[in-house]
Amino acid sequence: MKNITKSLFLYLGLFLAFVLVLGCIQLYTNANFLFGKKSSDSNYWITLSKTITPDNIGRKELLGFNPKDVEDLKKWNEVKDVYPIVSNDFRVSADGGNFIPFYTDMYLEAVDDAAIDINNLEDFQVKDNTIPIIISREYLNLYNYGFALNQGLPQITEEFAKKIEVNINLTLKDKNLKFRGKLMGLSDRIHSVLVPKKFLDSINATQATALTNQTIFTRVLVKVNDANDQDLIAKMNKKGYESNQESLRSAKIKGKLFLVLRTIALIGIFIFLLCIFMIINSIKMQFLEQQEEVSIKYLLGYSPKQMVRKISRFFSIRIGIVILFCLILLSVCQYYLSLSQVSNGMLPQFISYYLWTLIVIIPVVIYVVVNRLIYHWLIKSWKF
């Protein structure tokens, strides 16, 4: 009876430990399903800028990214590519001419074509005094849903917007230039007013004011593997970079969730190690309780190696059965979790297939470890 209670507690402890460890592995997998997996194939784009502080306010050389910052960024593991955004170093204004009565001061930015999410960029160059412009789709939405409605103005579709021409006036150091601006497309990636980079660079180069700041970029567009990567967030925080992308926010939550999971898994591993310790001790106890029998068998010619092997095999099989029960429990939980509202239909109905391989792997490892430890202990205890 005493023996049964003792083994019952031992196996109950092991069961709890395996539920904790294996449950954490499954939850980790589930979290990846919910928040998106790390994958080197996928590309995410985020716009980085430096956090504005009282120290760098108004100082482009501090607020912007210098070439060294850009080089450093390129070295981050999480970063695939870096595209600095060039901004205008002169005054720019736009007016509607005779067609639309409006006037506004504005800004222009430029970035490498490779970073722009428009399929055909063949016509994205200044030709016949016409500057092609790409603006953020958000700007058109702001106008359509925010501004036009309450001002009694008509809404503009993308196709119609592409037909509108406005005057772009550049006020340079020594002269004024007048261009026609024509919308070429809408970008979902870059929240800006983009013009061809070659054009902006060439005009910037003629401005004396630009010389000191020529290599300072106020913002950079970064291509990353995984916008949910918590390591990326940690690095950004450390350098004082920020980005307003929604995906980064979920990364922060994911980071914290994984921290909790890791903690639980650590506790599970701790309990698991304790249980292994208990198993080794309980095997020792069995040998001690049967010391007379074991030593008589040894003197009669029974191999100690085989006696230890037999008992290790017995325990390993029991542990395999405990893991099996544990995985069945986890499978049931996973099934109901996948049906629940929390999962939002994003979770698989079955637990990861590699968890099932642990039914074999863990008992084999335990068999080898226990066998070795107990054999050495037994032989040592017989030496006299």
To other proteins, the closest distance from the beta carbon of 285 in angstroms equals: 17
If one asks whether residue 160 binds other proteins (CB under 8 A), the answer comes out as no
Residue type, 331: S
To other proteins, the closest distance from the beta carbon of 310 in angstroms equals: 12
Using CB under 8 A, which of the segments 107-115, 234-242, 261-269, 294-302 binds other proteins? 294-302
Closest to other proteins by CB, 190 or 307 = 307
Strand 219-224 and strand 44-50: the pairing is antiparallel
If one asks whether residue 313 binds other proteins (CB under 8 A), the answer comes out as no
Residues 6+ apart with CB under 8 A from 226: 36, 38, 39, 42, 44, 78, 232
Using CB under 8 A, which of the segments 102-110, 240-248, 263-271, 288-296 binds other proteins? 288-296
CA dist., res. 134 & res. 162, Å (int): 10
Closest to other proteins by CB, 139 or 375 = 375
Closest to other proteins by CB, 255 or 304 = 304
Closest to other proteins by CB, 291 or 349 = 291
Using CB under 8 A, which of the segments 130-138, 273-281, 296-304, 323-331 binds other proteins? 296-304
132 forms beta bridges with 182
Closest to other proteins by CB, 27 or 378 = 378
If one asks whether residue 292 binds other proteins (CB under 8 A), the answer comes out as yes
If one asks whether residue 1 binds other proteins (CB under 8 A), the answer comes out as no
Contact pick of 104, 171, 263, 303 for other proteins (by CB under 8 A): 303
152 Rama sector, left if φ>0, alpha if ψ -120 to 50, beta otherwise? left
Contact pick of 282, 304, 329, 381 for other proteins (by CB under 8 A): 304
Three-state secondary structure call for residue 226: coil
Closest to other proteins by CB, 167 or 286 = 286
For residue 112 the two structure tokens come to: 């490498």
Contact pick of 293, 339, 340, 357 for other proteins (by CB under 8 A): 293
To other proteins, the closest distance from the beta carbon of 305 in angstroms equals: 6
If one asks whether residue 260 binds other proteins (CB under 8 A), the answer comes out as no
Residues 6+ apart with CB under 8 A from 1: none
Give, in order, the Cα–Cα distances in Å from 75 to each of 69, 79, 81, 216, 239.
10, 7, 9, 19, 14
Using CB under 8 A, which of the segments 236-244, 267-275, 303-311, 315-323 binds other proteins? 303-311
Residues 6+ apart with CB under 8 A from 60: 213, 216, 218
C-alpha closest to that of 304 among 384, 362, 383: 383
User: H/E element holding 45?
Assistant: strand 44-50
Q: 312, exposed or middle or buried, with CB in 10 Å at 0-12, 13-18, 19+?
A: buried
To other proteins, the closest distance from the beta carbon of 377 in angstroms equals: 13
C-alpha closest to that of 109 among 125, 127, 85, 126: 85
Contact pick of 300, 310, 341, 344 for other proteins (by CB under 8 A): 300
If one asks whether residue 384 binds other proteins (CB under 8 A), the answer comes out as yes
Closest to other proteins by CB, 100 or 285 = 285
- Where helices occur in the chain by DSSP H, the ranges are 2-35, 60-63, 67-75, 137-141, 149-151, 158-161, 197-205, 210-213, 230-239, 246-289, 291-300, 304-339, 353-382
What interhelical angle do 291-300 and 246-289 show, nearest 10? 70
To other proteins, the closest distance from the beta carbon of 367 in angstroms equals: 19
Closest to other proteins by CB, 8 or 296 = 296
Closest to other proteins by CB, 15 or 298 = 298
Q: Which residue has the tokens 């736009």?
A: 94
Residue type, 59: R
Contact pick of 58, 101, 152, 301 for other proteins (by CB under 8 A): 301
Residues that bind other proteins (CB under 8 A): 292-293, 296-305, 379, 384
